[in-house]
Structure 1
Amino acid sequence: MKNDFEEKMADIMIGEAVTALLEEDIAISWAVLTDRLRAAIEHETDEDRVRAGLRAIEEVRREMQIRAAENTGVYGTDGMSAQKLH
């Protein structure tokens, strides 16, 4: 149950970060999104939001790795193309 809450909160935090970047007319990239999420939790006092923010950062990093693997043609340990991992 807690994982579902953290997952939803992480998605919300990603959405908030993307919305803020769009409102500020800042080009969105994986690095900018990660930096924005990191900044969002820097002064956060709500423990649930901090955990969700850290989870959101990890999700973005994982997605970055998947995209990088797709672009380089790197294959996973199971022999499948990284494209087919998600």
Structure 2
Amino acid sequence: MKNDFEEKMADIMIGEAVTALLEQDIAISWAVLADRLRAAIEHETDEDRVRAGLRAIEEVRREMQIRASEKIGVASLTEQKLH
């Protein structure tokens, strides 16, 4: 049950960060989102939000790694076709 709460809170924090970026007319990227989440938990005093923020950052990092792997895979396939 605790994991469900943290997961929901992480999703909420991601949503809050995206909303803030949109309101400030800042281009959204995975890196910018991770930075915004780090800033959000920097002065956070609620332990649940800190844990959820760390979980959200981990989710964003994981997504960044997946995207990077996909780009490398596509580049590799393109190089193979050129030879």
Q: Normalising by structure 1, what TM-score?
A: 0.84
Question: How many residue pairs are counted as aligned between the two chains?
Answer: 74
- Report the TM-score, using the length of structure 2 for normalisation: 0.87
User: Which one has the largest radius of gyration?
Assistant: 2
| Structure 1 unpaired stretches of 5+ | 75-86
| More contact order relative to length (CA 8 Å, sep ≥ 6) | 2
More helix as a share of residues:
2
Matched to 1:61, the amino acid is: R
Aligned-residue identity in percent: 93
CA RMSD of aligned residues (A): 1.0
Q: Distance in 1 between matches of 2:48 and 2:56?
A: 12
- Unaligned 5+ residue runs, structure 2? 75-83
Q: Which runs of 4+ in 1 moved over 4 A?
A: none
